[in-house]
Structure 1
Amino acid sequence: MSHLTSSSQNGTRRHSCYLQGHAPNFFYTEESLPMIPTLTSETHHADHHLPAVTCYCHCIATIEGHNSNISSMIIGGQFLYTGSSDKEIRLWNRNGLSSTVDQEYLADNMVISGNGAVKSMVISADKLFSAHQDHKIRVWKISGPERQQNKLTHLATLPTLGDRALKLLIPKNHVQVRRHKKSTWVHHLDTVSALALSNDGLLLYSVSWDKTVKIWRTADYKCLESVANAHDDAINALALSSNGDVYTGSADKKIKVWRKASEGEDHTLVATLEKHKSGVNALALSIDENMLYSGSSDRSILVWEKNTDGNTMAVDALRGHTKSILCLNVVSDLVCSGSADETIRIWRGIDKLYICLALLEGHSGPVKCLTMERDHDDPFHTSSYLIYSGGLDRDIKVWRVSIPST
């Protein structure tokens, strides 16, 4: 049974450097962070004084419904979709989320499929694509009367039977899996860890712990391309730019950039970014796509910038989390990070200098996934955002962060 509770008791908030208070609503002022060293020879943080920023933040709801760890989430219309480690995908009507709920709140729909965790989800029009620990990608039809009560109907599992059968008949389509065993190249051979969709929704990209990158056509679910041995270790993260550049982050500590030279050709490696000291767990692009953010088990978030020559260089490191960064999300000029240290941090870049606006506490386990959007219902003259977070404590938390307009 699922419950939605007010969280003034659950969500302790504090200043990123010291405890500020436990009130349900509070504000604090954050200035530049001297603990964020640049990776270049210049120490511009010491030379520039960033303006103070007032930030209001609090946890407005906690959803207690999943019976296991929450491993993925995504917003689709008025619904929040969450995936867990016990194969469940649940739908939650976000219109019912508020701080003044006094009744039990049930998931609008739930499906159980595959084996193992639901690792990633993306939505294109009326379809949901989910990546699973059982090496499969599943496609779901989103439907419901006037979209007020959505439901999921299973459409396909990738690779499809037809795709597998065609490849099976041709020997050159077979790849060595391990000694005395082969498989076709359309199969992922380990956990599918992340998904991304092209801007037009025509292509689905997937990465896996089997070290491969695959591209699928969403019209008929055919696998068009597979980049084998893309990394030296499991691939954990994926980001896709509007021009088709593919960014992959791996346990081998590297980020790689892939590009197609022209239509009809396969993706080739165009850059390898190496600065992290541990595996890369999360990637996110800025809105203008000039910045790439990477989160790692080395507890840092690196900021990568494209220079005038088209090369990507590490220009900053955001430090503050005390354990691995597990997830990242970008909305507007804000970067949101979730960590194994059970906290969420909100970062803001001002003229390429970054400050930590807020540290959100309340989860009792690592924060495995989060998503973020503008809060269009905010009645005040602020830049207001809603953050949804989930993790190993099985709870979903809803946070409101408001930055008064200047």
Structure 2
Amino acid sequence: MKTEFQFSNLLGTVYSRGNLLFTPDGTCLLSPVGNRVTVFDLVHSKSYTLPFAHRKNIARLALNPRGNLLLSVDEDGRAILTNVPRRIVLYHFSFREEVSALAFAPSGRHFAAAIGRRIEVWHTPSTPDVADGDLDFAPFVRHRMYTGHFDTVTSLDWAADSRFFLSSSKDLTTRIWSLDPEDGFVPTTLGGHKHAVVGAWFSKDQETIYTVSKDGALFMWKYMLRYDAPEDAEETEENMQWGIADRHFYMQNFANVTCAAFHPESNLMVTGFSHGVFMIHELPDFSQIQTLSISQNEIDFVAINKTGEWLAFGATKLGQLLVWEWQSESYVLKQQGHFDSMNTIAYSPEGQRVITAADDGKIKVWDVNSGFCVVTFTEHMSGVTACEFAKRGNVLFTASLDGSVRAWDLIRYRNFRTFTAPSRLSFSSIAVDPSGEVVCAGSIDSFDIHIWSVQTGQLLDRLSGHEGPVSSLAFTPDGSTLVSGSWDRTVRLWSIFARTQTSEPLQLMADVLCVAVRPDSRQIAVTTLDGQLTFWSVSEATQQAGVDARRDVSGGRKLSDRRTAANVAGTKSFTTVKYSADGSCVLAGGNSKYICLYDVQSGVLIKKFTVSVNLSLDGTQEFLNSKLLTEAGPAGLIDDQGEASDLEDRIDRTLPGAQKGEGARKTRPAVRVPAVAFSPTGRAFCAASTEGLLIYSLDNSLLFDPFDLDITVTPASTLETLKQRDYLKALVMAFRLNEKGLVRAVYQAVPVSDIALVARDVPAVYLARLLRFIAVQADESPHLEFNLMWIEALLSAHGRWMKENRGTLDAELRSVEKVCRRIQGELARLADENGYRIEYLLKKPRGGEKEEKRFEIKGVDAQMDDVVDGESDDDEGGGEWMGFE
């Protein structure tokens, strides 16, 4: 089994905090998810997470005008410069303090960063394509520093000519700065707001400035005569100043403005409020276009794409990410992560979907290929603790603390059966018979195992024998045995379908946390509270091997720990374990930052995966920093909420004793891995963590096409390449040009002997287009065998990749299947019809006299003698019964 798994994607979290960004073409949205960045392709409905990770949660993002350089800054001011198309980290840099605003100039030559009360402008790392610009070897060179604000700067906005920029601040003012010293220009302060200024923007012609404050006031500033200038004064520099031309107010009662964005080309102002409402106005008339409520919680950030058609909203509290098309009043994207931590996950049998369930009572179905949540079930009234698929994958079973076990139809997306116990119980584990006829559940309140019939929903039996809560259940894949693990330090093997329901107890040395059954039903893996991972034979009920995993799983020290990470008892055991698809390895995780992959036969630790390096989470450090220790304890545990500058931030809305839900006390989340799952294909695995659903894959190579950057691709160069018999390169060049006639010419010019070689090396990014083209050619061209040879070669060379990426190739594969079925049907019909005619002709006696007898074969009149002799009157279709019409 291959073990070189690498981080591939992050699901389950769509927005954490910080600002949202649209790419320059407006088709992709960049969203910070913890210490990573996820890119949502809104046109193709896909998402992927960039491979780099910050040391803390990301606070600000900025993208240069060309869209190839991404600058991301975390809470401590550490920045990472990334090449977005290649997904490569170029440089690490530190601003040394938290950055509150970040913006690239429209020219792309500079970017401005607001660091507390000051503003720093830096040169953008130059690239060879920058016109008349020298190549700098130092990635970050500071241009100038601007000071003058008395409180934190909240936003930055550049003028269209990149000569001036605006900065707004919590000190109630907005300032106008010039990039370089300008003749006659003096930095100007715009004051008049009664609350912190949320944002300030230039109009398209740079003649007007719009500012919005937190109390819902919008001011329009123009360059006009001074109020103390004489009536007959001329419009000279001495008599002119920026002044308020108009005032508008949003009138949203007690709600504050939390975010705002302005689109200069269309004069649209979008404003988000603390009670979940956003408004769209057209300036300068301040005419209201739309008002919509998207949640009960505040909207943290809003962004507008280049054309002004799509609005992106991010809400931190619920982890919501919305993209709204305001003209058609429809959602382009509507995603939300789990409000509470995940408890359990399950891979669908075909490996295309992942189920996540959490303490918020929600069950989400995620598409692995697209990275989007397909559907969310909310019927459970309390935390969902376990989930499992039926064998075919169309039915999902979940167990919850609300005392119910529910069955979900994943075709119609509905709850079609609910199972309950005679008394109120909180179910913590679940197991489904491979046939899908029986479902079992274990509880933390009762020591019995409840068994229901899926068809009738009735309780069939209760299995007694455990003397402690049942922590884990699993059916063997052959369906003969039910395996249960309990806190009474035993694992029991139940033959529930036998005439006498007997159980075989396996005695362990500590409480059982999780059990897993090998795919061949011959072995089970058991994790216990003392950090042991043991393997048992199902048929002989004896222990076959064991691993002392305490050193492997332990790691990570919380701020409240008085001991080092090596001595903390809470991270010394695995809470979840799963077998790989071939049964040769097991994957285990627990309340630490490590996921361990073990070889079953030898018990050797093959690989150790670090879930997160995010210092914003508890348990990611091995050693604590002594500089952060104060007389009152660790600095991270000191509650400074009462020292916040804004009143709404000082109010304590928590409920005494609440650890989960709306009024829970705010604490640092701790890194942990409550569940892991292997893909049925064995090419990937997923892990539920504090940050989200992590996908690790063997097939995470970037599908990069080198011809994307080649400007020499022309029809003439393509034909020249074809003459040189470089068929693969010519085919790719033809696809890049997307000219149907040229693609057909190159395609048909490939020799039959080279089809297998060319098909084997076709880049994966062109497989869909090539399959679609062949399906069309099979309908239009007469080259039947040639097209079938191409189809066979592509499926033989790329069959595994097509299967694992079936979601992206469904339409193309259906077209190819349709073509193959049509050819098969026509050939079969043709062979049957012509077979009878040939048999009739061979049995026809030949007289001495040649009589011209005419007959009809498939609508063609031919003479019998000519046909028997292998000739035909039809020059073009000689022997038409031998081929297609």
Q: Please indicate the TM-score interval, normalised by the length of the shorter structure.
A: 0.5 to 0.7
The alpha-carbon deviation at position 220 of structure 1 amounts to: 2.6
Q: Kindly provide the CA deviation profile for residues 40-71 of structure 1, in whole angstroms up to 9, marking residues without a partner as x.
A: xxxxxxxxxxxxxxxxxxxx9999x9xxxxxx
Aligned to 2:357: 131
C-alpha distance 279-318 of structure 1, shift in aligned 2 (>3 A): same
2:546 corresponds, among 340, 349, 358, to 358
Q: Kindly provide the CA deviation profile for residues 223-265 of structure 1, in whole angstroms up to 9, marking residues without a partner as x.
A: 11222346542101111112311011111111011114x5xxx
In the alignment, structure 1 residue 319 sits paired with structure 2 residue 507: yes
Aligned pair count reads 266
In the alignment, structure 1 residue 120 sits paired with structure 2 residue 314: no
In the alignment, structure 1 residue 242 sits paired with structure 2 residue 434: yes
**Matched residues in 2 for 1:386 and 1:357: separation?**
13
1:395 corresponds, among 573, 577, 594, to 594
The alpha-carbon deviation at position 400 of structure 1 amounts to: 1.0
Which residue identity lines up with residue 376 of structure 2 in the other structure? T
Aligned to 1:372: 579
Contact 1:237 1:249 in 2 (8 A): yes
In the alignment, structure 1 residue 253 sits paired with structure 2 residue 447: yes
**Matched residues in 1 for 2:359 and 2:443: separation?**
17
**Matched residues in 2 for 1:367 and 1:232: separation?**
29
Q: Tell me the SS of whatever aligns to 1:402.
A: coil
Aligned to 1:349: 538
The alpha-carbon deviation at position 401 of structure 1 amounts to: 2.1
The alpha-carbon deviation at position 80 of structure 1 amounts to: 10
Q: Tell me the SS of whatever aligns to 2:466.
A: coil
Q: Tell me the SS of whatever aligns to 1:247.
A: strand
The alpha-carbon deviation at position 349 of structure 1 amounts to: 2.9
The alpha-carbon deviation at position 112 of structure 1 amounts to: 8.0
The alpha-carbon deviation at position 81 of structure 1 amounts to: 9.0
Which residue identity lines up with residue 525 of structure 2 in the other structure? C
Aligned to 1:184: none
Q: Which runs of 5+ in 2 are unaligned?
A: 17-32, 36-50, 55-86, 88-334, 555-570, 604-885
Which residue identity lines up with residue 354 of structure 1 in the other structure? T
Mapping for residues 90-169 of structure 1, pairs under 5 Å: 113-124=337-348, 125=350, 126-143=352-369, 152-159=371-378
Contact 2:506 2:541 in 1 (8 A): no
The alpha-carbon deviation at position 339 of structure 1 amounts to: 2.0
C-alpha distance 389-81 of structure 1, shift in aligned 2 (>3 A): farther
Contact 1:258 1:269 in 2 (8 A): yes
Which residue identity lines up with residue 345 of structure 1 in the other structure? T
* More strand as a share of residues: 1
In the alignment, structure 1 residue 204 sits paired with structure 2 residue 396: yes
Q: Kindly provide the CA deviation profile for residues 206-232 of structure 1, in whole angstroms up to 9, marking residues without a partner as x.
A: 110111011111013111122234654
Q: Tell me the SS of whatever aligns to 1:267.
A: coil
Aligned to 1:378: none
**Matched residues in 2 for 1:231 and 1:62: separation?**
45
The alpha-carbon deviation at position 82 of structure 1 amounts to: 9.8
Contact 1:62 1:398 in 2 (8 A): no
**Matched residues in 1 for 2:399 and 2:359: separation?**
12
The alpha-carbon deviation at position 201 of structure 1 amounts to: 1.6
2:479 corresponds, among 272, 284, 289, to 289
TM-score, L = length of structure 2: 0.28
Q: Kindly provide the CA deviation profile for residues 48-101 of structure 1, in whole angstroms up to 9, marking residues without a partner as x.
A: xxxxxxxxxxxx9999x9xxxxxxxxxxxxx899999xx9999xxxxxxxxxxx
C-alpha distance 286-398 of structure 1, shift in aligned 2 (>3 A): same
1:270 corresponds, among 454, 460, 482, to 460
Q: Kindly provide the CA deviation profile for residues 182-225 of structure 1, in whole angstroms up to 9, marking residues without a partner as x.
A: xxxxx211110111112222211111011101111101311112
C-alpha distance 82-319 of structure 1, shift in aligned 2 (>3 A): farther
Aligned to 1:222: 414
**Matched residues in 2 for 1:313 and 1:158: separation?**
37
Q: Kindly provide the CA deviation profile for residues 270-299 of structure 1, in whole angstroms up to 9, marking residues without a partner as x.
A: 110011111001001123221111111111
Contact 2:434 2:478 in 1 (8 A): no
C-alpha distance 83-348 of structure 1, shift in aligned 2 (>3 A): farther
Which residue identity lines up with residue 408 of structure 2 in the other structure? W
Q: Which runs of 5+ in 1 are unaligned?
A: 1-59, 66-78, 91-103, 144-150, 160-186, 376-383
Larger CA deviation: 231-240 vs 327-336:
231-240
Contact 2:532 2:546 in 1 (8 A): no
Aligned to 2:47: none
The alpha-carbon deviation at position 346 of structure 1 amounts to: 1.0
C-alpha distance 61-298 of structure 1, shift in aligned 2 (>3 A): farther
Which residue identity lines up with residue 136 of structure 1 in the other structure? K
Which residue identity lines up with residue 204 of structure 1 in the other structure? L
Aligned to 1:386: 585
C-alpha distance 249-80 of structure 1, shift in aligned 2 (>3 A): farther
**Matched residues in 1 for 2:586 and 2:405: separation?**
29
**Matched residues in 2 for 1:374 and 1:89: separation?**
31
The alpha-carbon deviation at position 321 of structure 1 amounts to: 3.3
The alpha-carbon deviation at position 120 of structure 1 amounts to: 1.4
Identity of aligned residues (%): 19
**Matched residues in 2 for 1:83 and 1:140: separation?**
8
Contact 1:301 1:325 in 2 (8 A): yes
The alpha-carbon deviation at position 319 of structure 1 amounts to: 1.7
Contact 1:197 1:203 in 2 (8 A): yes
**Matched residues in 1 for 2:501 and 2:52: separation?**
46
**Matched residues in 2 for 1:296 and 1:353: separation?**
17
Q: Tell me the SS of whatever aligns to 1:152.
A: coil
Which residue identity lines up with residue 368 of structure 1 in the other structure? T
**Matched residues in 1 for 2:423 and 2:355: separation?**
24
Say what the alpha-carbon RMSD is for the aligned residues: 3.6
Contact 2:430 2:440 in 1 (8 A): yes
Q: Tell me the SS of whatever aligns to 2:398.
A: strand
**Matched residues in 2 for 1:81 and 1:120: separation?**
16
* More helix as a share of residues: 2
Which residue identity lines up with residue 440 of structure 2 in the other structure? Y
